[in-house]
Amino acid sequence: MSELSPVLAPPKFRPHQGPVPRVLALVLAGGEGRRLWPLTQDRAKPAVPIGGRYRLIDFVLSNLVNSGFHKIKVLTQYMSDSLNNHLVRGWHLAAMLDQYVEAVPAQQRRGREWFKGSADAIFQSLNVITDEDPDVVLVFGGDHVYKMDVRQMLDFHLESDADCTVAAIPVPVEEARAFGVIEVDESWRILSFSEKPEVPREIPGRPGFALASMGNYIFNTRVLVDELLRDAEGKLGSQHDFGRNILPDMVGKRRLYAYDFMRNAIPGMDERERGYWRDVGTIQQYFLANMDLTQIVPVFNLYNPRWPLHTWMRPLPPAKFVFDEDGPGGVRRVGYATNSLVSEGSIVSGGHVSESVLGPRVRVNSYAHVHQSILHEGVDIGRHCRIRRTIIDKNVRIPANTEIGFDLEADTRRFQVIDGIVVIPKNYDFG
């Protein structure tokens, strides 16, 4: 993605030179993720597997930890068991140094209601903030694919003397309708904030692009608490959401700034990776995010040792590729994978995998061909199967000689087909 026009060149600022503030990070991870169904029928959206061995929440947690922020509360709600297990097993920081990643379930402190919106999720967890008593609160989403040095955003927030800072990125206008759209002045102070507008305002001097909120915010603690209280006790009809209510109401009343994500740089970053960000809110975007990783030189680089992507993985043997021999009728039986990610414990046994992502303990049997597909943990592809542009969730056994992704009309009678992508739910039984 190219840089913003000079009209929106951000102000120059120095890394913050003053006292280091006390920082608490809150990760919003209670989303239902309806547009990712059926991948979310049994798990929260941030717990959806991606890239074979990771979960969506690993991206934001890795960004925070790699940036030096080690007090992290993850606010959970919907189908949280899988997510909680992942956090408990894999995200252990140094308790002796008061460093932690902790899940905070919905506490229903204001009655027997679930979170009504993103702001309400934090309002119902205000005790988490008051107990920690930070100077600054990071409020980040738990389901986006990107790399970000959050400290650079914090420096901008502090040097701008902002009450709240919103991470922003230019996106095509036709995509901007799915996001909060921001207008800024020459100093990047926010002039307007519109959540999912029908007609997004274009960036001055850059037709076809709008400035979109990434759903990541930095608040001065007192400001955050005051705004949450005002929203909770204010006008009827509020959806108690940051994008729909809190931020638009702050415009012109608070020092509200946008942070240009295109300027963010992490150690070891290739310039092609600058500005990479995917909101995997739909099956199509989820599919594309995984396919990005299969490229020969992926724009999103998992192999940068200076910015590792942390996760939890049970002890499994290395991936294995077996058979290189002539089979019946002179058909060659070779187990191999090209332009693919193959996770631990997987066996490609005489089959061919191309441009695909295989999770742990996947088996692709003889003469099968898997192309542009995502296979989650424990999937078994029978002999002579042909699988194309398909997402197969955990623990599904595909019977021998099955074809999926070639006749979408037939596939639709059994599975969900979204934007030409077949999705087979977890534990599906072919009978």
pLDDT of residue 110: 58
CA distance 101 to 26: 10
Q: What share of the chain is helix, strand, coil (3-state, %, to 5)?
A: 25, 30, 45
Q: Using an 8 Å Cβ cutoff, are 329 and 84 in contact?
A: no
Q: List, for residues 148-206, the tens digit of each pLDDT value.
A: 999 999 999 999 999 999 999 999 999 999 999 999 999 999 999 999 999 999 999 89
pLDDT of residue 5: 40
| Single pTM value for the model | 0.92
The region, left, alpha or beta by phi > 0 then psi within -120 to 50, assigned to residue 427 is left
- For residue 90, what is the enclosing H or E element? helix 81-90
CA distance 16 to 23: 14
The region, left, alpha or beta by phi > 0 then psi within -120 to 50, assigned to residue 195 is beta
Mean of the per-residue pLDDT values of the chain: 91
pLDDT of residue 235: 64
Q: Is 190 helix (H, G, I), strand (E, B) or coil?
A: strand
6-293: which CATH topology? Spore Coat Polysaccharide Biosynthesis Protein SpsA; Chain A (3.90.550)
Q: Is 199 helix (H, G, I), strand (E, B) or coil?
A: coil
Locus of tokens 């009309």 = 409
CB atoms within 10 A of CB 247: 24
Q: Is 249 helix (H, G, I), strand (E, B) or coil?
A: helix
Contacts of 85 (CB under 8 A, 6+ apart): none
pLDDT of residue 133: 93
C-alpha pair distances (Å), 324 with each of 117, 257, 319, 351: 55, 60, 16, 10
State the sign of the Cα–Cα–Cα–Cα dihedral 356, 276, 214, 3.
negative
CA distance 206 to 286: 28
Strand ranges (E), 7-132 = 23-29, 49-50, 54-55, 71-76, 100-104
* 320-424: CATH, from 1.10.10.10, 3.30.390.30, 2.160.10.10, 3.40.50.300: 2.160.10.10
pLDDT at position 368 over 70? yes
Beta pairing, strands 390-392 & 421-424 = parallel
Q: List, for residues 11-47, the tens digit of each pLDDT value.
A: 444 555 567 799 999 999 977 778 999 999 999 999 9
pLDDT of residue 343: 98
Band (pLDDT 50/70/90 cuts) for residue 7 is very low
pLDDT of residue 6: 37
What is the distance of C-alpha 366 from the center of its chain?
35
Give the DSSP letter string of 37-70.
Answer: TTTTSSS-GGG-EETTTEETHHHHHHHHHHTT--
Locus of tokens 């990125």 = 169
Cis preceding linkage at 38, omega within 30: yes
Q: Where in the chain is the domain with CATH 3.90.550.10?
A: 6-293
Q: Using an 8 Å Cβ cutoff, are 382 and 401 in contact?
A: yes
